[in-house]
Structures are given as C-alpha cells and as structure tokens.
Homo-oligomer: A and B are copies of this chain.
Amino acid sequence: MSEEKHKTKDRLLDAAESLFASKGFDDVSIRELAAAADVNVAAVNYHFQGKENLFQQVIVRRFVGQRDNTLHALDGILSDPANKPDIAQVIKTLVEQYLKSTLSSPGGGSFMLLVAREMQSQKHHGSKTFFKEMVMPVFRAYSMALMDVRPGLKQEQINWIMASIVGQIHHFIMRWHKKSGFDARSEEIRMMIRMFPALGLSMDEYIAQVTDHITAFSTAAIDSLYPEVSP
C-alpha cells in the first residue's frame, strides 16, 4: 500500500463525506458515491465491506480531528495562566468550534450536520463507539470546564445547560442547511429570511452572529438561574 494520495480508498472517503453530509445516509446511493469518486461501484464493497462501514469510517476519520480540535481549544483558554476564563468564554468556545466545523468540510459539505443528524436520528448507522469515543469526551470536557468556572454548579444542572446549548446549536445549523435546500429565488426562502433575517447573511456572518447570540443567551440564563457564589 503506497503513500500516494488520490488512491481509490481516499477518493471514496472524500466523496462520501461530502455527499453524506449534504444529503444524509439514506439519500446517497453507492452508484452516486462511485460516480463522484470516479471509481467502480464494486469499490465500496471491496474497500469498505459495505455502505454502513464506509459511513462509520467517514465519521471517525474526521470527527477524531474535530474532537481533538475542540478539546484543544478548550484547553487553550483553560490553561493560559494570563487568562482567567469565565463561563461566556467556555460557551463561546464550544459554540464556535461546533459551528466552524460546519465550514471546514471538503467539497463545501457540512460535516457537523452529519453528526447532528446522527445524534438525532433514531437509526444508528454510526459505530457503537461513536457515542463513547466522540460525544462523551467532548461533553465531559466541557462539563468539567463549566464546573471549573462555576464551582457551585452541580452535574445535574450542567446536563440541562448543555442540552439547551447543544439544542440551540443544532437548530441553527439545521436552519441554515434547510435554507440551502431551497432555490435561492423561491418563495420559501423569502419567507424564511423574512422570519429570520440572519439567514440572508453570508455563512461567516451567520456563524458569528449565531455564536454571539447563543453565548449571550445561555450565559445570561446561567448567570441568572445559578448565580455565582460571592467570594
């Protein structure tokens, strides 16, 4: 096995990531994948022993990197001796990392949408370890970070807070992607933008505004519901 790029297996993984992200697992056929990667239809089964397996490897391949990025970003603000991290900083880091990952996918696909879908679908294409290896570490790290900056918070309270934050993130991701599913000049798009003007922005601006909003909204809620114990 050589070190060259553009081998069949890699092209397949790239095409699969982009296609799965933009259309979901069920709506991508093996023939579609093969055509996009410019390989034979049998290649999927030869190299990955099936469509499900390919999907899993797609998730693992990129999510491992994203997970480490997210954990590293958090570590950056926590371990900087010149920085006294507050709760807004932790939340902003989480939201920003989550949303930024949406852009970083090759082919313009939304990788984190793939994850959001997987986390919400009652079908389980991902590996059994997806939850354990991918979701849990990030959840734990940010839980501990929240406890760090707000020692009064109990685990149960953090569970609810995290759910509210992640729920908002997913919703704004889905909203953007839903918009992308319509014709740019359709009536539906005009209605959506009228109902939510931020959808008319560029993706970068959208991410920036969404990040600011979720951070402000959630921080305000936490500060008000679970006020810091005075020193």
Chain A residues in the interface with B (C-beta under 8 A): 26-27, 119-124, 128, 131-132, 136, 139, 156, 159-161, 163-164, 166-172, 174-175, 177-178, 180-182, 187-188, 191-192, 195-198, 213-214, 216-218, 220-221, 223-225
Interface SS of A by simple majority: helix
- For the complex, what is the distance from the CA of A174 to the CA of B136, rounded to whole Å? 18
Which of B26, B167, B220, B221 is A170 in contact with, Cβ under 8 Å? B167
Chain B residue nearest to A161 (CB atoms) is B217
Given A121-B178, A156-B197, 4 further pairs, Cβ under 8 A: A139-B195, A163-B196, A164-B213, A168-B171
Cα A85 to Cα B22 with chains together (Å): 43
Which residue from chain B places its CB closest to the CB of A186 in the assembled complex?
Answer: B128
26 A-B residue pairs with Cβ-Cβ distance under 8 Å, sorted by A, are A26-B27, A121-B178, A122-B177, A124-B181, A124-B188, A128-B187, A131-B188, A132-B191, A136-B195, A159-B195, A159-B197, A159-B198, A160-B198, A160-B213, A161-B217, A163-B196, A164-B171, A167-B167, A167-B168, A167-B171, A167-B172, A170-B170, A217-B221, A218-B221, A220-B220, A220-B225
Residue in B132, B168, B195 whose beta carbon sits within 8 Å of that of A168 in the complex = B168
Chain B residues with CB under 8 Å of A132's CB are 191
In the bound complex, how far is the Cα of B18 from the Cα of A67, in angstroms?
37
